[in-house]
Chains A and B, each alone.
Chain A
Amino acid sequence: MRNLFRATILACLVSPMCLGVFVSRAQEKASQAMPTGIEVEMVQSDEIKLPTEFQVALYENLIRQLQKKGGFKNVYRDGDRNATEHPGTIVLHSTVKGFKQGSERARQVTTVAGATSITVHCRFTDANGHTLLERDIKGKVRFFGGNLKATYDFAKKAAGIAREVSVEQSPRVARS
């Protein structure tokens, strides 16, 4: 009886330690498998006339969302010298394809009118410039919030797609 009690206590002490080691190894493996980083280029709007505050808000929200849930170890800004030091860095090019500036006042007064929407063409490329994924992503604000909230909506969707890219790229990185 006493032996059984001792064995139970020992098992209770040892098992969390083993679990901790297992979890930390799994995390290490996952971090090794992650692509090293992503460089976010400034959002371009050559064809569409986009106000500068929207351009900047798109860029900043994109970086913030990628840091939160992009699935990359590092998120580099446009022109960051550290990005070139890591060969596995993915580059995100974004170009504005459509923009409709709504009105916050119209949204608040009518509910149905005054929506703001932005369509951005996102292209993920590897360090050699080969395209990994291309997609049009739309950000919009329909009911509550200022016009710049459309950029937040876009950034969230873009981070989700970036996660897909990071998952696709992770086995290759692990193999290499």
Chain B
Amino acid sequence: MKPSNHTAPLRPRMTQDASGIGIPAMTRNSVLLTITFALVALSPLCRAQSPGVQTTREPTKTTLVTGLPGFKDDSNGSLAAEKGHLQFVHSKNAIEIPVPSITDVVTGSDNQRVIRGKVGTVSMFGPYGSGRFLSLFRSKLDTLTIQYRDGDGGLHGVIFTMAVGQAELLKQQLIAQGAHTTIATESSSSHETSKLNETTEQKP
């Protein structure tokens, strides 16, 4: 058995160069610099891969206000724009609208009573004006109105409501997939205004 040499001098952990900076610290700095440069260099590629509109998103929870054949008004479901179709699913029923047949997509805003449904209706008749007081508490929501033509050329209109901010995203997705609109989205309108500014600047 070889006895361990406890008395052997330990190798110094930190060696210093001429400038006095520790070598591990230099390594760390160089690694950090490399990562930073790599991130800066790759950022344009990342931007190119993610255009303004996400192509795959989770279905949006919506309420159908009116318009879809085969579905009752005020039925809750999920709405998704994928593979050139706008799909609404409610329990086991589903309907797909081809995106190119959509002639108009318009977003809007609305609000609704926080306490709604059967409880909301009962609370309306609460004593001492409590029902009226509860009506003051309201939540905002977005509306998405779609007009499309069926196979015979007949015009249909559908209205959905959804959480705030969802309608504009869906609209952008639909436009990216070939839907038409009479009111441009915020991003496209800002792009147009910037173009207009450029042209006005070019004028003497």
Residues of A bordering B, CB below 8 Å: 42, 51-53, 55-57, 59-61, 76-82, 104-105, 108-110, 146, 148
Contact = CB atoms under 8 A, between A and B. Distances in A.
- Secondary structure call for the B interface: strand
A81 B152 CA distance: 6
Q: How large is the interface on B (under 10, 10 to 19, 20 to 34, 35 or more residues)?
A: 20 to 34
Contact of A52 (B106, B132, B153): B106
The 10 A-B residue pairs with the shortest CB-CB distance in the complex, in nearest-first order: A56-B157, A77-B154, A108-B135, A80-B154, A78-B155, A52-B106, A79-B153, A52-B145, A53-B145, A60-B67
Contact of B136 (A80, A109, A146, A148): A109
B183 to A, nearest CB: 8
Interface of B: 65-67, 104, 106, 108, 110-113, 124, 131-132, 135-136, 138, 143, 145, 147, 149-150, 152-159
B151 to A, nearest CB: 9
Nearest to A148: B65
A53 B155 contact: no
Contacts of A82: 152
Nearest to A82: B152
Contact of A77 (B110, B135, B155): B155
Contacts of A104: 111-113
Contacts of B155: 42, 59, 77-79
B149 A60 contact: no
Nearest to A77: B154
B145 A76 contact: no
Given A51-B108, A56-B157, A56-B158, A108 B113 contact: yes
B132 A108 contact: yes
A61 B66 CA distance: 8
B103 to A, nearest CB: 10
Given A52-B145, A56-B147, A78-B154, A105 B111 contact: yes
21 contacts: A42-B155, A51-B108, A52-B106, A52-B108, A52-B145, A53-B159, A55-B157, A56-B145, A56-B157, A56-B158, A57-B65, A60-B156, A77-B156, A79-B155, A80-B153, A104-B112, A105-B111, A108-B124, A108-B135, A109-B135, A146-B110
Contact of B153 (A57, A60, A81): A81
A46 to B, nearest CB: 14
Nearest to A106: B135
B65 to A, nearest CB: 7
